[in-house]
Chains A and B, each alone.
Chain A
Amino acid sequence: DTGVSQNPRHKITKRGQNVTFRCDPISEHNRLYWYRQTLGQGPEFLTYFQNEAQLEKSRLLSDRFSAERPKGSFSTLEIQRTEQGDSAMYLCASSGVGSYNLYFGPGTRLLVL
């Protein structure tokens, strides 16, 4: 069990550019979550996958955001035409079948200039 991993750990981009983040969950976990955390706040739910199916999306996830989990393993989160308001820590988490215990990755910190 190597835990949840996320890449890159840090990303600096210019406004208007596209960025993509990757999350590798714990291998036997079928549920995968994306959260966003801004400074001084708790994480906010973005989206949730069970295996390869995206079952729920937050209203925070505008049409510039898209997430995929094509084979039910790793997931990607893409932000198109980034805005300064997208600057935040993007956290990925996973959990196993029938478990409410979420395991979080180290996060990807995004700074949009």
Chain B
Amino acid sequence: KQEVTQIPAALSVPEGENLVLNCSFTDSAIYNLQWFRQDPGKGLTSLLLIQSSQREQTSGRLNASLDKSSGRSTLYIAASQPGDSATYLCADFSGGYNKLIFGAGTRLAVHP
């Protein structure tokens, strides 16, 4: 059974820092990996999707990479801003093509 761990659980950084969020999987047979952002009390917003044949995806200041051999993914946020403050969740479709297995998330606070 796939289990997803996100480290750190919480992170507080000053504005402008580059930062890395980590996601690891117990089963390295990762199918498709998706990173989401969740603002307090709100639903999830998809940030990046890395399909099984890909190793990374980029969108603006965000870059997500996937290393299947080690069962790890990282989300890199460049030049962080206060508006980046949110919970970041990673999830994998290894639970079957019809369901995502989520980590518990990393709560990010970027202060001015």
| A positions within 8 Å CB-CB of B | 4, 6, 31, 33, 35, 40-45, 48, 50, 55-56, 58, 91, 93, 100-107, 109
Closest CB of chain A to B34's CB: distance in Å? 7
Closest CB of chain A to B73's CB: distance in Å? 14
Residue contact B102 to A100, C-beta cutoff 8 Å: no
The number of chain B residues with a CB under 8 A from chain A is 26
CB-CB under 8 A from B32, the residues of chain A are 100
CB-CB under 8 A from A42, the residues of chain B are 4, 89, 91, 102-105
CB-CB under 8 A from B61, the residues of chain A are none
Please give me the residue from chain A that is nearest to B39 by CB atom. A106
Can you list 9 pairs linking A and B with CB atoms under 8 Å apart?
Answer: A41-B104, A41-B105, A42-B102, A42-B103, A48-B99, A56-B96, A91-B43, A93-B44, A104-B36
Interface string of B39-70 (1 = CB under 8 A from A): 00111111001010000000000000000000
Residue contact B100 to A102, C-beta cutoff 8 Å: yes
CA distance A6 to B49 in the complex (A): 24
CA distance A98 to B6 in the complex (A): 28
* B95 close to A (CB within 8 Å): yes
Contact status of A105 and B43, CB under 8 A, knowing A40-B104, A42-B91, A42-B102: yes
**Other A-B pairs beyond A42-B104, A45-B99, A109-B41, 11, CB < 8 Å:** A4-B43, A42-B4, A42-B91, A43-B89, A44-B102, A45-B95, A48-B98, A102-B46, A104-B43, A106-B42, A107-B42
Closest CB of chain A to B56's CB: distance in Å? 16
CA distance A107 to B44 in the complex (A): 9
CB-CB under 8 A from A103, the residues of chain B are 46
Interface string of B85-101 (1 = CB under 8 A from A): 00001010101111111
Closest CB of chain B to A88's CB: distance in Å? 13
Residue contact B44 to A91, C-beta cutoff 8 Å: yes
CB-CB under 8 A from B101, the residues of chain A are 45
CA distance A103 to B98 in the complex (A): 13
Closest CB of chain A to B9's CB: distance in Å? 9
CA distance A109 to B44 in the complex (A): 14
